[in-house]
Chain A
Amino acid sequence: MSAGGITAEPPVVAAPPPSGEPGRLGRVLVSAFFLAPALFMLGVWMVYPAVYTIIRSFFGQTGFFGHWVGIDNYKTLFTTSTLTTAIKNNAIWVAVVPALVTAIGLVFAVLTERVRWAVAFKTVVFLPMAISAFATGVTWRIMYQQDPGLGAVNALGKTISGVFSPAGVLSSALPSTPALQSAGGALVLKTPTHPGGVVLLGLTGIAPDQVPKSSAQAVTPAAKPGDIVGTVWRDFKPGGGKPGLVEKGELGLPGVTVQLRDAAGKTVQSTKSNRDGSYDFKNVPAGTYHAAIGSQTFAKPFGGYAWLGPNLIVPSLMIAYIWIWAGFAMVVIGAGLASMPRDVLEAARTDGATEWQTFRRVTVPLLMPVLSVVFVTMIINVLKVFDIVYALAPESEYAKANVIALAMYFTAFQGAGNFGVGSAIAVFLFLLVIPVLALNIRRFKREA
C-alpha cells in the first residue's frame, strides 16, 4: 500500500478462475502440502513437549497416575533455597548483563569506525562468538584458576605484585618450636638473650629444593664473650628429628637476615647467616635482647584471587559471558551505524556540537531501534543462560552460581531425577521469557 493513501476501495484481488471451488481447494491443498513439514516439526518438537511439560509440572516425582500434586512443585520452586538462589541470580544477570553487553558493543562499534585496523579489531572481538559456550567455559575456568602457576588472570596479578612486593626466600617456612613466635610477619624468639649467649633459630616447612645449594651441615657456634652468636637452620631431618636441636643431617640456611632487637623491640643490629647457618652479632652492649628473623624473609608470594570462589563466582561468570556476546552486539550495532545518515552527523558537527554531544544527542537516539533489538535479545539469552555456568563454575560453587536453567537440568535429570519440579522450573522460565518475546514480536510486526 502506498504510504498515507487512504483508500475506501478493497484491494485488487485476482479474478477467480472459471472453475471456482476446485481452484480454491487446490490452493489450500498446495499450501497445506508446503506447510505440513514445518507444522509437523513444530508440533512434535515444540508444541507437544511444551504442553507435556506444563501438564507434567502438576504431577509428582514418579509419574502420572495417582501422583497429582497440584501446585506443590511450584511451592517447592519458591521455598527451596538452591532454587531461590537460582531465581535471584537470574535477576542479577538480567539487571547487569544485557545493559553491559549493549553498552560495550556500542562503544566498540563507534570506536572501530575510527581506527585503522577496524576489520582486524572487529574480527578479534567477534571471534568468541565462533567458539561454543562450553569451550569458552572450560577456557575461562583454566584462566580463572587461583594458583598463579595455572590461571592466566592470577599469573598477571602475580607478575604485577612481584614488582611491588617480592616474595621472601623462605615464604613457606614455619618455626620449629613454640618459643619462636610470629609477630607482624617476622619470627621473634621469645626467650631473651644477653651478650655471650647462643641463640638457635630453627625453621621447618622448607621443601628440600627450597634450601640454597650452598648450604652445609648446621653447627651450633661456641659462645663468645660480648657477642651474641647462633644459627638459623632447617630443623628437620627424615623422620622429624628433635625440634630445637641442631642434629646431624640438618642443613644451615645461608643468607637469612637475622635481627637483634632490644627490650623495646627496636632492631639494633642485623646480619646475614653463613653457609652453615651460623651468625654473629659483634660487640653487643650489656642488656636484654631478642633475636628475630625479619618479615621480608617470609613474605608470601601472591597467592591469587579466588575468582571461582563463593564471593566472585557470579561476576566471574558474567565477565566470561560478556566476553562472548560483546562481539555480537558490536557487529549488529556497527551495521546500524553504517546505515545511519551521515549528513545528520555532519550537520551536528557543523552546528558546533562536540564529539560527546554528537554521540549522546544524535548517534544514540538514531541507533535506539538497533540498541533495543540487541538489549531484548540479550535479555532472552540471559534468562536461559546455562552452558557457561555449567562449564565454568566448579562443582563446589554450583549452589552459589546457580541459575534457573541449570537448576532445571539438575533437578530433572541429575541425581534427584525429579521431573515434576524440573517441569515446574521450565514452565516458570517459559513464563519469564513470554513478555520479552511478545515485546519482540510486536516490534517485528511494527517494523514490517
Chain B
Amino acid sequence: MTRTRIGVVCITVAVALLAAGLAGAGTRSHHHTGQNLAVKGTITFDGIWTASSGQKQFADVIKLFNKTYPNVKVNYKPVGDSLPTVLATAVAGGNPPDMADIAQPGTVAQFAKQGKLKPITYAKGTIAKNYVASWQQLGTYSGKLYALVFKAANKSVVWYNVPAFKAAGVKPPKTFSQLLAAAKVIKSSGTPAYSIGGADGWTLTDMFENIYLRTFGAAKYNALSAHKIKWTDPSVKTALTTMGKIIGDTGNLAGGTSGALQYGFNDSVTNAFGSPPKAAMVFEADFVGGVISSSTKAKAKTGFNTFTWPSITPGADAGGVEIGGDLFVTFRDTPAIEAFVKFLATAPAAEAWAKQGGFGTGNKNVPASIYPDAITKATEAPIGSAKSVVFDMSDEQPPSFGATAGQGEWGLFQDFLKNPKNVAGIQAKLEAAAKSSYAKGK
C-alpha cells in the first residue's frame, strides 16, 4: 500500500517535472497535491443536458474532476429529453451506459427493482458529510443507496409579476389565507391572479404536492408517495379541497378553466410575465426564471420576483422543500466510477456548476454566495438549508401512474381542473389508477 503510494507520488512528480520542462515558464504546471494517477478508465455517461441546456456546465464539472483524476475519461453523451426512452431500450437490450442521469425517481426505482443498478454505498460517507439530512433518503430504494441527486430544482416557489402586485396593492403572501386574500384583491384590480399551465399535467401535480406537503408535513407526504396512504384518505380530500380554492376560482385563472387546460407550462409563464400580463402569478419551480428571461422582457426584481410557497398548517412543514432533480445512477462498478461518484458528492463539484446559475443543490457546504444573482439565491439557497427535502411525488411513483401524458395522475389532475368540485370522484379514480400501477410495478 505504502509502496504503491510512493510510486504514485514519484510518477506524479516525474510527470510534473516533465510537464514543466516541456511547457516552459508561464504555462500551467501540474502540481496539484491530491492528484491521483492510479485510477484509470473510461466512463460512459448518458445525460439529458444538451448544448443549449447544461452540457457545457457539466463539462466544467468533469474538467474539475480530471484535475484530480487525469487518467479517467468521462464520455458524456447528450441524449436530450428522450433519455428515459433510450435508456429503457438500452437496459432492456443489456447494454446500458456506465452512468446515467435520470430525472424520475420512479424510473430509478424500476431499474433498482429489476437489479440493473449498482448500489453506491461507497459514497454514503461523502454524502452524509456534505448534504442535508434527508438527502440520502432521496436516492435510497428498498434500503440501498442507488442514486446521488446531483442537481436539484426548488419546486416550492411561486413567481409573481411585480407591477401586477403593485397595481393591486398586495404584498407577497406568507400564509395560504393571505394568498387567497391577495388573489381576491388582484382579481378586483382587473388582472386574474393565477396562471395555470394545465396542458402539462405535471404543473397541477406539483401544486397538489406543495399543498399536501404544507398541510401534512414530510413524513405523511412520503407515505402517500410510497402509496402507504391511499388516495381515498381524508388527508387527500383536505388537500384537494384546498387546491380547489385556487383552481376552482375560474374567473381568477388566465383564460378561465378552458384556457388553463390548453396553456402549457411555457404559456403559463409568458401569460404572467408578458405585456400586458394576463395573470399575476405562476406556481412552479426555479426553471420558470429561464423561460421568463428567454421569452419575455420582464426584469428581475422590477418585473418579476419570487416568494416561498405559503404555509398552510403552521408548523407542519417548517422549512420543507419539494424538489425535482437529476439522479445519477451507476450500471457498473469500477474504481473510476467510484471516484467520480464520490467527487460529485463534494462541494467543489456542485460549486463548479452552481456559480454558473440554473443549478440548485442540497449540499450544505456550498455557500449561498456562490449563486450568481439574487433570484437564484432566493430560489436555490433554501434547498441547502432545508429541514426536510422531499422529491416530486409524481416523479417518485411508477411512471405509468405519475409520469405519463394524459393518463394516471397527470390526466386525472387535468380532469380535476375541469371540475374541481368532484373531489371524491377524483380520489376514487386516483386510487384505482395507483393500485393498478403499483400492482404492475411488482
Q: Which residues of A does B touch, CB under 8 Å?
A: 61-63, 82, 145-147, 172, 174, 176, 204-210, 235-240, 303, 306, 308-309, 394-399, 402, 410, 413-419
Contacts and interface: CB of A to CB of B under 8 A. Distances in A.
B85 interface: yes
25 contacts: A61-B440, A146-B262, A176-B188, A205-B190, A238-B168, A308-B262, A309-B258, A309-B261, A395-B201, A395-B406, A395-B410, A396-B262, A396-B411, A398-B406, A398-B407, A399-B407, A402-B406, A410-B404, A410-B406, A413-B88, A413-B89, A415-B399, A416-B404, A417-B84, A418-B440
Contacts of A418: 400, 440
B114 A396 contact: no
Contact of B167 (A82, A147, A238, A419): A238
A210 B199 CA distance: 29
A394 B262 contact: yes
B319 interface: no
A207 B84 CA distance: 45
Contact of A240 (B85, B169, B258): B169
A215 B166 CA distance: 21
- Identify which of B169, B190, B404 gathers the most chain A CB atoms within 10 Å of its CB: B190
Contact of A62 (B114, B169, B190, B437): B114
Q: Which of B85, B189, B398, B399 has the most CB of A within 10 A?
A: B189
Given A309-B262, A395-B201, A419-B92, 4 more contacts: A204-B189, A394-B264, A395-B405, A398-B407
Contact of B259 (A146, A399, A402, A417): A146
A239 B170 contact: yes
B376 interface: no
B251 interface: yes
B143 to A, nearest CB: 20
B399 A236 contact: no
Interface string B182-206: 0011011111000000111100000
A413 B403 CA distance: 12
B362 interface: no
A76 to B, nearest CB: 9
Interface in B406-435: 406-408, 410-411, 414
Nearest to B414: A396
Nearest to B260: A396
Interface in B323-347: none
A399 B404 contact: no
A417 B399 contact: yes
A417 B102 CA distance: 14
B47 interface: no
A147 B408 CA distance: 28
A146 B198 CA distance: 14
Nearest to B408: A415
B331 to A, nearest CB: 15
A214 to B, nearest CB: 18
A413 B92 CA distance: 11
B258 A396 contact: no
A207 B400 contact: no
A82 B410 CA distance: 13
Nearest to A417: B88
A410 B404 CA distance: 7
**Residue from B85, B188, B201, B414 whose CB has the most chain A CB atoms within 10 Å:** B188
A146 B125 CA distance: 54
A234 to B, nearest CB: 8
Contact of B404 (A236, A309, A415): A415
A207 B88 contact: no
B242 interface: no
Most B CB contacts (10 A, CB to CB) among A308, A309, A398, A416 go to: A416
B276 interface: yes
B412 to A, nearest CB: 10
B361 to A, nearest CB: 27
A412 to B, nearest CB: 9
Nearest to A402: B406
B264 A146 contact: no
Interface string B375-419: 000000000000000000000001110011111101100100000
B439 to A, nearest CB: 11
Interface of B: 84-85, 88-89, 92, 107, 110, 114, 166-170, 184-185, 187-191, 198-201, 251, 255-256, 258-259, 261-262, 264, 276, 398-400, 403-408, 410-411, 414, 437, 440
A209 B276 contact: yes
A63 B91 CA distance: 10
A239 B165 CA distance: 9
The 6 closest A-B pairs by CB, nearest first: A238-B169, A398-B406, A415-B404, A207-B190, A416-B400, A204-B188
Nearest to B402: A415
A210 B404 CA distance: 42
A283 B399 CA distance: 73
A63 B198 CA distance: 35
Contacts of A235: 188
Contacts of B262: 145-146, 306, 308-309, 394, 396
B169 A394 contact: no
Given A147-B255, A309-B261, A239 B190 contact: no
A395 B331 CA distance: 32
A208 B262 CA distance: 27
Contact of B264 (A205, A395, A398): A395
Contacts of B185: 239-240
Contact of B84 (A205, A239, A395, A414): A414
A410 B168 contact: no
Contacts of A62: 114
Contacts of B107: 417
Contact of A396 (B187, B198, B256): B198
B167 A397 contact: no
Contacts of A82: 406-407
A59 to B, nearest CB: 11
A111 B88 CA distance: 52
A204 B405 CA distance: 38
**B251, B276, B399, B405: most-surrounded residue (chain A CB, <10 A):** B405
Contacts of A174: 187-188, 251
User: Which residue, of B187, B201, B258, B407, has the highest number of chain A Cβ atoms within 10 A?
Assistant: B407
B259 A236 contact: no
A297 to B, nearest CB: 15
B405 A410 contact: yes
B141 to A, nearest CB: 16
A308 B255 CA distance: 14
Nearest to A394: B199
Contacts of B258: 146, 306, 309
Chain B CB within 10 Å — which of A235, A309, A394 has the most?
A394
Contacts of B411: 396, 398-399
A132 B261 CA distance: 27
A415 B188 contact: no
Contacts of A416: 398-400, 404, 437, 440
B79 to A, nearest CB: 13
Contacts of B110: 417
A3 B411 CA distance: 64
